[in-house]
Amino acid sequence: MTALSMMRGAFTIAKDGIDMIRLMNNFKTAMLLAALFGLIVWAGSFWGAQGMIIAGVIAVVMNFSAWFFSDKMAIAAMRAQPVDENSAPELVGLVRELSERANLPMPRVYICPQQAPNAFATGRNPKNAAVAFTEGALRLLNRDELRGVIAHELAHIKNRDTLISTIAATVAGLFSMLAQFAFFFGMGGGRGGGNPLVLIGVVLLGAVGAAIIKAMISRSREFVADADGARIAGSPNGLISALQKLESYAKQIPMQNPNPAMNNLFIVEPFVGKTLTNLFASHPPTSQRIQALRRA
């Protein structure tokens, strides 16, 4: 067997491994979204149509408005400043190169003044996307690691993960609306018979379940973005090394982030700690992400 054929075989195995990660986690995302809508049907059997429709309309308007302006909101919250080829030639050049490899329009590029090393992508679609990097990340990462991070963020854009997160947030927000209606107005008309205590109990259980499923969807999308990012970059090695560094430094330097609801956007979880909220973590453990990339 020639060296060239061995290299082709190794590439095929790696490609198949990445495809398997994508397939499994895309299937998981679909099942979790189905579970979210199953929660709506379950709650609706207790609640009745009237309150569900009102709460659903409010949740859709709120969350899809946030989705439409997601790039502006995230950039403003992080006090990010735009850069171009003149002000940040290496960074913008890498983003342009990898965007072309991913067959994506060139996103807007920003640098955030935070010292905590991290990065995120946002935007309602690939034509209105932005990628942002903290000053801490740009100082910490070498060129190969930065390539891996950029490729990961471009994968989020390519897979329209902002839209998927918005759908999950809309369903979770629905239960919050229902709880408020039950508490203040006692609305309902299904199996709960309009009993406020029953209705509040149902929507609280639904809210907890929706929040956990929403977090699980976010975690599954990170695995997909890792796999697709490795493909865009041409190798998982830079991303693996970057994740190791980012995880280590994230525990030492707190993110000055005014909006914790943005946590799911970042490449690593900005806030760390052993608490009950691990159930609601928007990212899988970094060690699991690295293991998946190495297996690919």
DSSP annotation of 116: S
Q: What is the DSSP letter of 130?
A: E
Among left, alpha and beta (phi > 0; psi -120 to 50; other), residue 188 is left
**What order of strands is seen across the sheet that includes strand 130-134?**
81-82, 108-112, 130-134, 119-122
The β-bridge partners of 120 are 132, 266
The β-bridge partners of 121 are 131
CA 236, CA 231: separation in Å to the nearest integer? 7
Q: Tokens for 143?
A: 């060129």
Q: Which residues are known to be catalytic?
A: 153
What is the identity of the amino acid at 19? Answer: D
Sign of the C-alpha dihedral computed for residues 191, 194, 200 and 204 taken in this order: positive
233/276 Cα distance (integer angstroms)? 35
Sign of the C-alpha dihedral, residues 269, 272, 274, 275?
Answer: negative
Q: What's the CA angle centered on 34, arms 29 and 37, to 5 degrees?
A: 130
